[in-house]
């Protein structure tokens, strides 16, 4: 397989191993491990491959996948062979390589009300085979890692009623909870919703590639098809863990080592594989929160791993302001970016740290595609060709900007705010 034949610049598709993406630093190869899980041997192999065939940089994505960056065209074929031998070559086809997203703690979290992994397997088996590549379903068992912000099209979430789950559809205004259903009926309901969406596309009634892009009238039409019982609100989570040591009761402890904006170096992945082999259960779980989770650790080992991870540049402190910002690599790593988004995000984290402690969310995108975070944020910044950012308050990168500012102006305005609710006033065209 040649890299040229497998590459594309078309918007709305997802790169993989078979079809890499041309970026500013070479080819990007995205690996979709089943359930987002790697063995220590696979992780070590990927880290070595990133050095041998790429530039040593990797990304953990917002869907819990892993990207190798800077792959050279003359080395691409050898990389594919390496990943195939490691069982990491995705099936052929254009559909979602992994339809469902679950918590990295799925099956381990004592707070869960059902097994998300088993349900996700049943949902994927019931889904039609001709879905657009970016369609995504979040299966949330009610554990300690929230899935509401994952940017899924369809949400299946635990409720306080142990016999029912809440079903939600994504919309421009956030998740629209359309009803409740039994666990046993979820695969059939998901299959109906997705098959009907595919039929709408085939009939020319919409060109949307995601449920969250559908017109409100078509969303209501999908709702009517499944005739759910009145919605029960999703169960309340104690917290939404983003980093640190997590107690799993009789299952020991886990360490969630977060990565600044998902960027991982090959030596960090190699060391994580060592920790998993030496102290854990030989498993590494990729988290959609852009981190690496190591389960099965004893208490003393978990603290040792956390200390070493912090020294290697992982984030272990949940109050770190970088965890409240979604950012793509930006320029020069991405050929389509107009701004160095990840560098600007570090500066914004410093200027707005007081807002993040109050729950603010910010998305910094190097261009209008908004790859790092398709959902709305309190503040979304979209890089422009003139070097400025389009500023969107309480929206996503797909929406119209309220104003256009330099990174310096944005930082000044953010540093002067007292609360996230002040953003609308601060980022009007005339902020007086």
In the predicted structure, residue 4 carries a pLDDT above the cut 60: no
Place 6 in a pLDDT band, splitting at 50, 70 and 90. Answer: very low
Within 13-160, strands assigned E span 21-23, 26-31, 37-39, 57-60, 66-71, 100-102, 137-140, 154-158
Average of per-residue pLDDT values in the chain: 89
* Rounded distance between C-alpha atoms, residue 412 and residue 233, angstroms: 39
| pTM of the entire predicted model | 0.89
pLDDT at residue 7 in the model:
43
- Higher-confidence residue: 100 or 7? 100
Mean per-residue pLDDT, 276-281 = 95
pLDDT in tens, 171-196: 767 788 999 999 999 999 999 999 99
pLDDT in tens, 19-45: 998 888 889 999 999 889 999 999 999
In the predicted structure, residue 431 carries a pLDDT above the cut 70: no
Domain ranges (residues) in the chain: 3-94+242-311, 112-226, 321-426
DSSP codes, 182-221: -GGGHHHHHHHHHHHHHHHHHTTS---SSGGGS-HHHHHH
pLDDT at residue 12 in the model:
54
pLDDT at residue 2 in the model:
54
* CATH architecture of structural domain 3-94+242-311: Alpha-Beta Complex (3.90)
pLDDT at residue 9 in the model:
43
pLDDT at residue 370 in the model:
82
For CA atoms 258, 262, 266, 270, the dihedral sign is: positive
Q: What percent of the chain has pLDDT over 90?
A: 62
pLDDT in tens, 413-425: 999 999 888 888 8
Place 91 in a pLDDT band, splitting at 50, 70 and 90. Answer: confident
Q: What percent of the chain has pLDDT over 70?
A: 94
pLDDT at residue 380 in the model:
94
| CATH dotted code for 112-226 | 3.30.413.10
* Rounded distance between C-alpha atoms, residue 321 and residue 353, angstroms: 5
pLDDT in tens, 41-85: 999 999 999 999 999 999 999 899 999 999 999 999 999 999 999
For CA atoms 70, 75, 81, 85, the dihedral sign is: negative
Mean per-residue pLDDT, 238-247 = 82
* Rounded distance between C-alpha atoms, residue 27 and residue 70, angstroms: 5
In the predicted structure, residue 14 carries a pLDDT above the cut 60: yes
Mean per-residue pLDDT, 263-287 = 96
Mean per-residue pLDDT, 268-283 = 96
Mean per-residue pLDDT, 154-158 = 94
Fold assignment, 321-426: Sulfite Reductase Hemoprotein; domain 1 (3.30.413)
pLDDT at residue 236 in the model:
62
| Domains 112-226 and 321-426 in one fold | yes
């Amino acid at each position: 397989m040649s890299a040229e034949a497998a590459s594309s610049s078309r918007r709305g598709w997802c790169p993989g191993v078979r079809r890499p993406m041309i970026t500013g630093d070479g080819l990007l190869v995205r690996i979709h491990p089943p359930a987002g899980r790697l063995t220590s041997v696979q992780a070590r192999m990927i880290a070595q491959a990133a050095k041998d065939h790429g530039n040593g940089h990797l990304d953990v994505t917002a869907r819990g996948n892993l990207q190798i960056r800077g792959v050279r065209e003359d080395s691409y074929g050898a990389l594919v062979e390496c990943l195939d031998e490691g069982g990491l070559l995705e099936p052929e086809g254009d559909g979602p390589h992994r339809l469902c997203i679950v918590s990295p703690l799925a099956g381990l979290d004592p707070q869960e009300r059902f097994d998300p992994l088993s349900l996700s397997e049943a949902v994927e088996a019931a889904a039609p085979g001709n879905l657009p590549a970016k369609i995504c379903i979040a299966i949330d068992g009610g554990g300690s890692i929230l899935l509401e912000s994952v940017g899924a099209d369809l949400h299946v979430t635990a409720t306080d009623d142990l016999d029912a789950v809440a079903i939600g559809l994504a919309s421009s205004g956030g998740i629209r909870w359309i009803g409740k259903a039994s666990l046993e009926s979820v695969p059939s309901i998901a299959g109906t919703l997705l098959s009907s969406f595919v039929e709408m596309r085939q009939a020319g009634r919409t060109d949307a590639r995601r449920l969250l892009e559908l017109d409100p009238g078509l969303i209501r039409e999908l709702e009517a098809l499944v005739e759910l019982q009145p919605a029960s609100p999703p169960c309340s989570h104690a917290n939404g863990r983003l980093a640190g040591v997590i107690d799993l009761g009789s299952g020991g402890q886990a360490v969630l080592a977060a990565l600044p904006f998902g960027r991982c170096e090959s030596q960090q992945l190699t060391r994580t594989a060592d920790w998993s082999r030496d102290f854990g259960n030989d498993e590494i779980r990729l988290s959609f929160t852009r981190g690496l989770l190591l389960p099965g650790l004893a208490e003393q080992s978990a603290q040792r791993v956390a200390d070493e991870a912090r020294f290697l540049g992982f984030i272990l402190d949940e109050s770190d302001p970088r965890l409240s910002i979604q950012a793509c690599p930006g320029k020069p790593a991405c050929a389509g970016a107009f701004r160095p988004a990840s560098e600007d995000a570090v500066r914004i984290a410093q200027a707005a740290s007081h807002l993040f402690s109050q729950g603010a969310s910010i998305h910094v995108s190097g261009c209008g595609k908004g790859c790092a975070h398709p959902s709305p944020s309190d503040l979304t910044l979209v890089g422009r060709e003139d070097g400025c950012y389009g500023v969107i308050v309480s929206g996503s990168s797909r929406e119209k900007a309220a104003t256009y500012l330099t990174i310096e102006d944005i930082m000044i305005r953010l540093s002067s705010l007292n609360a996230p609710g002040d953003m609308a006033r601060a980022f009007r065209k005339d902020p007086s």
